[in-house]
Structure 1
Amino acid sequence: MKVLVIEDEIKTAKALGRMIVSVQPEATIVQYIESVAMAVEYLSGSELPDVIFMDIQLADGNCFEIFSQIRIKVPVIFCTAFDEYAIEAFKSNGVDYILKPFEKKDIQSAFEKINNLKNFFQHSPSPDRKLEDILNNLTTGRGKTNFLVFSNNKYSNIHVDRIACFYSQFGNTVLVTLDQKEYSISQSLDEIGQLVSGTQFFRINRQYLINFAAIVEVEHYFSRKLLVSLKITTPEKPLVTKDKASRFLQWLEER
């Protein structure tokens, strides 16, 4: 596995590189890059790595300037001291967002997410094509537009605009429409979260992925959580976990 590290502090970059190799022994650090300009030049003329670890603030500007100049088709792990760029990061091929000072377990978790993506595509007749489609969706914020469901011996397509939420219960994933119809689907919430638009859907906790269009109101709940009132009824209260509350409110504000 070829890994590119884009980080303007060379000591931090080297430490990150050692941590990556210790977690993923087959990984090779192909280059350490310090600036937007160097990153654009390298990614424009070289063979693409398998994954990029990228800081937000670089020597000559913000890393998102890279994405405005070239198209990156590989997963990106953002490693930064700033938490306010998470939403923009996940719109820029971000698979994970690690806050400094990072630890070995953070790097391990990032590689697990990448491996989960690979496992999801392995049964596809054209996995490279599907991976590129999803990375395009992450970049544009467009996401998957329809889900194929099976009910009463019939297949039908449900457009994402008709979906109120997805929830997981007893190991099954259920799609719920705005008119309260429910369908069991094969994908997990993790897989669906990679497919749909991050602008339209938000994973509020381990059990629920909700559509902005289904939200009626939000109120404070116990233990710094948020309670979301939806246009439909759900088996459990749709609670935003306290670690996601700030990002969820920011997501609401950015409509």
Structure 2
Amino acid sequence: MKALIVEDEQMARARLIRMIETDFPEVEVVGQTDSITGTLDFLRLNGDPDIIFMDVELSDGDCFEIFRQRDVTSKVIMTTAYDSYAVKAFETGSIDYLLKPIGTAALQRAVRRCADYFRAAQLQKTPNPAGEGSETKDSDAGKIMDAVHDAKKWKKRMLVRIGERYLPLMIEDIAFFYSEDKYNYVYMKDGVRYLLDLTMDKICEGLDPESFFRISRGCIVSRETVRKAIRHANGRLKLELSVLTPEELFVSRARVENFLRWFE
């Protein structure tokens, strides 16, 4: 299956491509775009690939403008940090809806769903009076909403190891995650800090994106602890939290726009 990646955030695009190349040899990435204009140009020159992994918010507007200008026949897998686009995604015929940060299990489900559609299309070339194997628009809607529902089953707690003991932490009690000297820590709202043996990417996979935001490569903050965001040099935002931090926290320039939407 040939795939196009439509994503305006370079790190997110690189991570998705890496996941596809590692876990899905049957999927070949044939192109990358980061805008409405670039995507339309690619499709005009190359035709529709089998699959499009499509971020909702692109550098020059939302992706739904693509569908207003062109009849896209690819199987579209929407990728976004927000669940509010689910209905719109279904209306454009999307086959799945993945909330960022995208986990391996969710990506496997989406790719498997695409493969199932292509197999079903082959079967439909053979006359089938009973209509078996056909999909209805209602079933597509159910799949999209089920995907959003599944994605909302976020972790309620996480385990930290202290010597030979494991301590459960409630996610709602976490203030932020922070990288320091090549180690990752979780800071609790009561000021206690614990060392983690997880990467930041792994930590993100279990967190509700409505409640937590990764402001930089080395920091993830809880919405409940953010008191204010202040414009700073180089297009960054300086955050004031309700808890003490090891140093000043900044939202990287590339993440400012998405952070403000999330913070709102």
Corresponding residue for residue 240 of structure 1: 251
How many Å separate the matches in 2 of 1:90 and 1:172?
A: 36
Paired letter, 2:195: S
Corresponding residue for residue 188 of structure 1: 199
The Cα RMSD (Å) is: 4.4
Q: 1:192 to 1:76 in 2, by over 3 A?
A: farther
Instruction: State whether structure 2 residue 72 is matched by structure 1 residue 87.
Output: no
TM-score, length basis structure 1: 0.54
Answer yes or no: is the 8 Å Cα contact 1:93–1:139 preserved in 2: no
Q: 1:130 to 1:223 in 2, by over 3 A?
A: closer
Match of 2:216 among 196, 199, 205: 205
Once the two structures are superposed, residues 73-122 of structure 1 have per-residue CA deviations (whole angstroms, 9 ceiling, x without a partner) of xx9465xxxxxx753489831458xxxxxxxxxxxxxxxxx8xx65xxxx
Corresponding residue for residue 103 of structure 1: none
Paired letter, 1:196: L
How many Å separate the matches in 1 of 2:99 and 2:107?
A: 16
Corresponding residue for residue 116 of structure 2: none
Q: 1:94 to 1:173 in 2, by over 3 A?
A: same
Q: Identity of paired residues, percent?
A: 22
Paired letter, 1:53: F
Answer yes or no: is the 8 Å Cα contact 1:138–1:197 preserved in 2: no
* Pairwise CA distance, 1:177: 0.4
* Runs of 4+ deviating beyond 6 Å: 129-132
Unaligned 5+ runs, structure 1 = 8-19, 30-48, 62-71, 79-84, 97-113, 119-127
Q: 1:130 to 1:53 in 2, by over 3 A?
A: closer
- Number of residues paired by the alignment? 174
Q: How does 1:83-232 map to 2 (within 5 A)?
A: 87-88=82-83, 92-94=97-99, 140-151=151-162, 153-232=164-243
How many Å separate the matches in 2 of 1:129 and 1:88?
A: 14
Once the two structures are superposed, residues 21-78 of structure 1 have per-residue CA deviations (whole angstroms, 9 ceiling, x without a partner) of xx9686358xxxxxxxxxxxxxxxxxxx9x75247326479xxxxxxxxxx9xx9465
* Pairwise CA distance, 1:194: 1.6
How many Å separate the matches in 1 of 2:179 and 2:149?
A: 23
Q: 1:249 to 1:52 in 2, by over 3 A?
A: same
* Pairwise CA distance, 1:185: 1.2
How many Å separate the matches in 2 of 1:224 and 1:139?
A: 36
* Pairwise CA distance, 1:160: 0.6
TM-score, length basis structure 2: 0.52
Once the two structures are superposed, residues 180-208 of structure 1 have per-residue CA deviations (whole angstroms, 9 ceiling, x without a partner) of 11111111111111210000000001111
How many Å separate the matches in 1 of 2:198 and 2:158?
A: 10
Corresponding residue for residue 252 of structure 1: 263
* Pairwise CA distance, 1:215: 1.4
Paired letter, 1:207: G
Corresponding residue for residue 27 of structure 1: 27
How many Å separate the matches in 2 of 1:176 and 1:140?
A: 25
Answer yes or no: is the 8 Å Cα contact 2:152–2:208 preserved in 1: yes
Answer yes or no: is the 8 Å Cα contact 1:147–1:160 preserved in 2: yes
How many Å separate the matches in 2 of 1:246 and 1:136?
A: 26
Q: 1:192 to 1:247 in 2, by over 3 A?
A: same
Paired letter, 1:93: L
Greater Cα radius of gyration, structure 1 or 2: 2
How many Å separate the matches in 2 of 1:158 and 1:233?
A: 19
